[in-house]
């Protein structure tokens, strides 16, 4: 008997070694509604990925930015879903003609959620600490800033050289303003200046925000937001049909008819900066030959991904349509299995066997398409589905892989192609130079032009492949207005969401 | 009996020790660590090293093990590297979902399996007995996930009687809502586990029918069925208690799957999340608590079996 219980116990151990939840992309906008917004309403929003903790200073992951930035924490400037830069805690700002001095005017009468006042010194302290603490996220994005000082309500940033990405960076983690010397337990609590207050976090279940009634701007139009973490799309569909959630983000566009069938939801597809990146480890072996990489790209039928996901669009270069520097690069790697075979022959490669390392929360259709497309041209693809920690360790840190697939959701992340140490293992000095020039440009159009040039080279070098550009797939209740639809995976600004009883 | 108890208890402690070593070492084999996960993509090796240092992941493994096991003896299972919350308090919070879920599942499984199992044995060879037996065989082969999805579609989506997922945020302060939230998940586990149990009850009953003392009772004038009910069932009951002990482990594994499916904030879902996050102090605390529970149940079942079974009592 005892032996059997030991066996049962070890079976339990083994079972728990299996792992992990799912994640995907998502977003939603604003259908029409007839009823009046209810200021006491509570809106339940399904999200996919729950943050491990809420430490906005240090913990990586879009799951934190998605809900905490804009809603709870704010910076001097913010970005709209359309990716425009707009005032936030600064009412206004100016940039000197040489691009070396940024002067922000800080709003007055702003308070933190715990009632403490926001002072210019808080801003100086937040930015300085961010810059000087490497463990804090995006600390290096302030590398060009040489001095951060307050002059009355003015905050002055001085740079060592122009940085066309500085304002953009200030809309993200690098620019968030915290209270100096705050003793809040950032891992499980929050204290910001945004339109919502963190009310509670029921780990493994939900996070609840309540309206900040002493918000400096327009107060939120709902009393409460509940983020329900439901990893499985089918479970999310059931929850929606049973009336348990008002909005479903990260949804599967293939379930459009099921969710719209009830008449209570509308499926909305928004643009996103999600890039399905197929990375090539090009340091050695057959993949160091550009012809082999190009052959793989041309062997892949990119339209098949868009069709299988029932959302998104094709993407043939590193910059998605929402980001500056995007251009249509479909001419660089058109689908042509015969050309692919010819390239492989030319490179003298036969019976190529490759392994694809892919985190296990992505749809299995992605590796399936790749396996069959590559098989067509004589490449045998073995799929290794791993949990995200394993991917981070093997692929990201140790660069121990042939091919890797990950959905890169970050906006404006071209820098990874200009960083030879990144797991993409792509090293082209010309691209690095163009990227540096685009950063140093003081004119936005000029910066974008330089990026576009660099992106074309990256694509022509077949430095990687871009299987698709994802869409934000969101199902929105017909009584909900003001739900953003663009890039909802990355940022979910809920300042304008409203719910009517009608 | 005392000697027997002491031996079994010694074996229990040994089992717990072996489990703790196994848990600790197997988790260290997992690739990747929490510092990498906190730092995420876009991090540098220096950043990761900094976080690793701060979390104490650089200490030698034997030292980490002693640290942990020393705490266990003081009733301290450590605390989460991500949130800093103590594992014991997290387990206590999540068991508000998992323990009632397990008990409810067990009750459902027993209520289904015992009467139907005995019935199907007594009706062996007849149409209804065969139908029961085939039905149980089929149900036992059904994957828990599929059973759960079907139940949700019928009772939550079509009929709207029960919630499709989640647990009320107010918890057990609204007992009716909490109970309703657990009913479908418990039914899912209970039906599948119950079907397996039913087959066991049936074969145990059939075995009892063939026993000498049942035949003797029948020879003394009892009908076959009443001989079975009066003299055979106590023996069947004993076997069921033994199997229930094993079933507890099955229910815990079922809870891991079902809590994911129904988005219930219980121990199973927490465990899956923590393994993914490589929050090892939490994972090893949770696993030790769960395996410890299963081992203790096994120990208790052995003792109860011993006490209830007169043949074993005399042998001792």
Contact assignment for B169 to A21 by CB distance below 8 Å: no
Residue B34's CB is within 10 A of a number of other CB atoms, namely 23
Which of B22, B31, B283 is opposite residue A393, by nearest beta carbon?
B31
Contact assignment for A5 to B246 by CB distance below 8 Å: yes
Contact assignment for B26 to A239 by CB distance below 8 Å: no
Place of tokens 């915290």: A178
3-state helix vs strand vs coil in chain A, percent to 5: 30, 25, 45
Has the ipTM of the complex gone over 0.85? no
What pLDDT band is residue B238 in, cutting at 50, 70 and 90? confident
- Name the residue in chain A with its Cα closest to that of B302: A1
Q: What is the pLDDT of residue B283?
A: 93
Chain B nearest-CA distance from A423, in A, is 10
Chain B nearest-CA distance from A418, in A, is 13
For residues A349 and B237, which has the higher predicted lDDT (pLDDT)?
Answer: A349
Contact assignment for B38 to A393 by CB distance below 8 Å: no
Which of B36, B256, B272 is opposite residue A389, by nearest beta carbon?
B36
Contact assignment for A21 to B276 by CB distance below 8 Å: yes
Q: Which of A1, A17, A57, A204 is the best mutation test for B, with the most CBs of B within 10 A?
A: A204
Which residues of chain A from 156 to 185 reach within 8 Å of chain B, CB to CB?
185
- In chain B, what residues touch A138 (CB-CB under 8 Å)? 42
Spatial CA neighbour of B260 closest among B120, B142, B158, B166? B166
- Name the residue in chain B with its Cα closest to that of A413: B42
Contact assignment for B165 to A21 by CB distance below 8 Å: no
Chain A nearest-CA distance from B277, in A, is 7
The CA radius of gyration of chain A, in Å to the nearest whole number, is 24
Q: How far is CA A187 from the centre of its chain?
A: 21
Q: What is the pLDDT of residue A156?
A: 97
- In chain B, what residues touch A393 (CB-CB under 8 Å)? 31-33, 36
Tell whether A443 lies on the interface with B, counting CB pairs under 8 A.
no
Contact assignment for B164 to A15 by CB distance below 8 Å: no
Residue B73's CB is within 10 A of a number of other CB atoms, namely 7
- In chain A, what residues touch B270 (CB-CB under 8 Å)? 203-204
- Name the residue in chain A with its Cα closest to that of B35: A59
For residues B48 and A54, which has the higher predicted lDDT (pLDDT)?
Answer: A54
Q: How far is CA B159 from the centre of its chain?
A: 30
The Cα–Cα gap between A59 and A365 comes to 31
- In chain A, what residues touch B277 (CB-CB under 8 Å)? 52, 389
Contacting residues for A309 by C-beta, under 8 A, at least 6 apart: A253, A254, A363, A365, A468, A470, A471
CA distances (Å), origin B294, targets A373, A409, B78, B89, B300: 48, 43, 21, 20, 10
Q: What is the pLDDT of residue A15?
A: 35
Whether residue B262 contacts residue B165, with contact meaning beta carbons closer than 8 Å, is answered with yes
Q: What is the pLDDT of residue A502?
A: 61
- Name the residue in chain B with its Cα closest to that of A15: B253
Q: What is the pLDDT of residue A87?
A: 97
Contact assignment for A389 to B262 by CB distance below 8 Å: no
Which of B18, B156, B276 is opposite residue A389, by nearest beta carbon?
B276
Which of B94, B271, B305 is opposite residue A16, by nearest beta carbon?
B271
Give the pairing of strands A403-408 and A353-359: parallel
Tell whether A42 lies on the interface with B, counting CB pairs under 8 A.
no
Chain B nearest-CA distance from A341, in A, is 34
Contact assignment for A59 to B45 by CB distance below 8 Å: no
Whether residue A262 contacts residue A243, with contact meaning beta carbons closer than 8 Å, is answered with no
Whether residue A165 contacts residue A439, with contact meaning beta carbons closer than 8 Å, is answered with yes
Weakest-pLDDT range from A35-49, B217-231, B296-310: B217-231
Q: What is the pLDDT of residue A34?
A: 59
- In chain A, what residues touch B177 (CB-CB under 8 Å)? none
Contact assignment for A2 to B302 by CB distance below 8 Å: yes
Residue A241's CB is within 10 A of a number of other CB atoms, namely 22
Which of B51, B156, B276 is opposite residue A19, by nearest beta carbon?
B276
Output the tens digit of pLDDT for each of chain A's 502 residues. Answer: 333 333 333 333 333 333 222 333 333 444 445 578 999 999 999 999 899 999 999 998 889 999 999 999 999 999 998 889 999 999 999 999 999 999 999 999 999 999 999 999 999 999 999 999 988 999 999 999 999 999 999 999 999 999 999 999 999 999 999 999 999 999 999 999 999 999 999 988 999 999 999 999 999 999 999 999 998 898 899 899 989 999 999 999 999 999 999 899 999 999 999 999 999 999 999 999 999 999 999 999 999 999 999 999 999 999 999 999 999 999 999 999 999 999 999 999 999 999 999 998 888 899 999 999 999 999 999 999 999 989 999 999 999 999 999 999 989 999 999 999 999 999 999 999 999 999 999 888 999 999 999 999 999 999 999 999 999 999 999 999 999 999 998 999 999 999 998 6
The Cα–Cα gap between B182 and B101 comes to 6
Chain B nearest-CA distance from A357, in A, is 14
- In chain B, what residues touch A241 (CB-CB under 8 Å)? 157, 164
- In chain B, what residues touch A58 (CB-CB under 8 Å)? 38, 51
Kindly report, residue by residue over B116-145, the tens digit of the pLDDT.
888 888 887 788 888 888 888 887 777 777
Which residue intervals of B40-86 are DSSP H helices?
Answer: 45-55, 61-73
Q: What's the whole-model pTM score?
A: 0.87
Tell whether A5 lies on the interface with B, counting CB pairs under 8 A.
yes
Which of B90, B165, B275 is opposite residue A16, by nearest beta carbon?
B275
Which of A60, A208, A387 is opposite residue B43, by nearest beta carbon?
A60
Which of A16, A188, A394 is opposite residue B31, by nearest beta carbon?
A394
Q: What is the pLDDT of residue B313?
A: 65
- Name the residue in chain A with its Cα closest to that of B37: A389
Tell whether A400 lies on the interface with B, counting CB pairs under 8 A.
no
CA distances (Å), origin A461, targets A317, A333, A353, B81: 10, 10, 21, 42
Contact assignment for A52 to B38 by CB distance below 8 Å: yes
Contact assignment for B82 to A187 by CB distance below 8 Å: yes
- In chain B, what residues touch A17 (CB-CB under 8 Å)? 26, 30, 275
- In chain B, what residues touch A5 (CB-CB under 8 Å)? 15, 245-246, 249, 294-295, 297-299, 301
3-state helix vs strand vs coil in chain B, percent to 5: 80, 0, 20
Q: What is the pLDDT of residue A363?
A: 85
Chain B nearest-CA distance from A241, in A, is 6
Q: pLDDT at residue B267 above 60?
A: yes
SS (H, E, C) B253-302: HHHHHHHHHCCCCCHHHHHHHHHHHCCHHHHHHHHHHHHHHHHHHHHHHH
């Amino acid at each position: 008997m005892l032996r059997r219980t030991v066996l049962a116990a070890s079976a339990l151990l083994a079972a728990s070694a299996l792992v992990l939840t799912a994640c995907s992309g998502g977003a939603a906008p604003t259908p029409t509604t007839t009823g009046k917004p209810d200021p006491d309403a509570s809106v339940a929003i399904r999200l996919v990925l729950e943050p491990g903790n809420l430490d906005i200073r240090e913990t990586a992951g879009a799951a934190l930015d998605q809900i905490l930035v804009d809603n709870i924490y704010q910076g001097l400037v913010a970005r709209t879903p359309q990716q425009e830069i707009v005032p936030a805690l600064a009412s206004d700002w100016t940039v000197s003609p040489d691009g070396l001095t940024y002067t922000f005017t800080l709003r007055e009468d702003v308070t933190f959620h715990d009632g403490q006042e926001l002072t210019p010194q808080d801003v100086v302290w937040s930015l300085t600490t961010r810059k000087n603490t490497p463990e804090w996220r995006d600390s290096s994005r302030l590398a060009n800033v040489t001095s951060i000082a307050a002059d009355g309500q003015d905050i002055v940033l001085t740079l060592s050289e122009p940085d066309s990405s500085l304002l953009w960076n200030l809309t993200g983690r690098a620019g968030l303003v915290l209270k100096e010397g705050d003793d809040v337990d950032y891992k499980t609590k929050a204290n910001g200046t945004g339109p919502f207050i963190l009310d509670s976090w029921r780990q493994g279940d939900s996070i609840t925000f309540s309206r900040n009634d002493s918000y400096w701007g327009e107060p939120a139009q709902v009393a409460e937001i509940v983020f329900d973490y439901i990893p499985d799309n089918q479970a999310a569909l059931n929850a929606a049909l049973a009336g348990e959630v008002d909005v479903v983000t990260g949804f599967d566009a293939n379930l459009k008819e099921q969710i719209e069938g009830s008449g209570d939801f509308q499926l909305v597809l928004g643009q996103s900066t999600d890039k399905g990146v197929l990375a090539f480890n090009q340091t050695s072996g057959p993949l160091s030959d550009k012809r082999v990489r190009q052959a793989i790209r041309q062997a892949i039928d990119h339209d098949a991904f868009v069709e299988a996901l029932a959302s998104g669009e094709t993407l043939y270069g590193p910059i998605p349509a929402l980001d500056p520097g995007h251009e249509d690069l479909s001419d660089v790697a058109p689908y042509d299995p015969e050309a692919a075979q010819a390239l492989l022959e030319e490179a003298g490669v036969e019976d190529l066997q490759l392994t694809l390392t892919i985190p296990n929360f992505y749809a299995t259709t992605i590796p399936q398409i790749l396996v069959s497309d590559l098989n067509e041209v004589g490449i045998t693809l073995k799929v290794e589905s791993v949990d995200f920690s394993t991917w981070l360790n093997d692929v990201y840190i140790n660069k121990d892989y042939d091919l890797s697939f990950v959905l890169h959701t970050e906006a404006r992340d071209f820098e990874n192609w200009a960083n030879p140490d990144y797991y993409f293992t792509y090293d082209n000095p010309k691209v690095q130079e163009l990227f540096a020039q685009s950063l140093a440009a003081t004119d936005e159009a000029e910066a974008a032009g330089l990026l576009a040039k660099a992106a074309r080279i990256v694509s022509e070098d077949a430095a990687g492949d871009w299987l698709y550009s994802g869409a934000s797939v969101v199902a929105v209740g017909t009584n909900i207005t003001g739900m953003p639809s663009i890039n909802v995976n990355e940022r979910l600004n809920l300042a304008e969401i409203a719910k009517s009883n009608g | 009996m005392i000697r027997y108890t002491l031996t079994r208890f010694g074996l229990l402690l040994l089992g717990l020790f072996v489990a703790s070593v196994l848990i600790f070492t197997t988790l260290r084999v997992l690739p990747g660590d929490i510092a990498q996960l906190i730092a995420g993509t876009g991090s540098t090796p220096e950043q990761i090293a900094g976080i690793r240092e701060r979390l104490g992941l650089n200490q030698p493994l034997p030292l980490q093990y002693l640290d942990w096991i020393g705490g266990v003896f003081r009733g301290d299972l450590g605390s989460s590297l991500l949130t800093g919350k103590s594992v014991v308090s997290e387990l206590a919070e999540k068991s508000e979902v998992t323990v009632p879920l397990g008990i409810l599942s067990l009750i459902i499984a027993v209520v289904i399996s015992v009467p139907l199992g005995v019935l199907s044995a007594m009706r062996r060879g007849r149409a209804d007995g065969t139908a029961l037996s085939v039905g149980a065989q089929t149900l036992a082969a059904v994957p828990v996930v599929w059973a759960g999805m079907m139940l949700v579609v019928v009772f939550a989506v079509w009929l709207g009687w029960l919630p499709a997922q989640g647990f009320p945020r107010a918890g057990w302060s609204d007992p009716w809502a909490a109970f309703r939230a657990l009913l479908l998940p418990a039914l899912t586990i209970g039906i599948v586990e119950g079907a397996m149990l039913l087959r066991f009850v049936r074969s145990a009953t059939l075995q009892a029918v063939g026993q000498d003392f049942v035949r003797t009772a029948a020879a003394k004038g009892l009908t076959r069925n009443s001989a079975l009910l009066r003299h055979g069932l106590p023996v069947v009951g004993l076997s069921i208690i033994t199997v229930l002990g094993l079933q507890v482990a099955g229910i815990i594994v079922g809870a891991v799957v079902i809590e994911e499916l129904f988005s219930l904030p219980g121990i199973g879902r927490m465990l899956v999340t923590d393994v993914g996050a490589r929050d090892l102090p939490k994972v090893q605390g949770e696993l030790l608590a769960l395996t410890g529970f299963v081992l203790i149940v096994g120990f208790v079942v052995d003792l109860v079996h011993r006490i209830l079974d007169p043949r074993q009592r005399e042998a001792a």
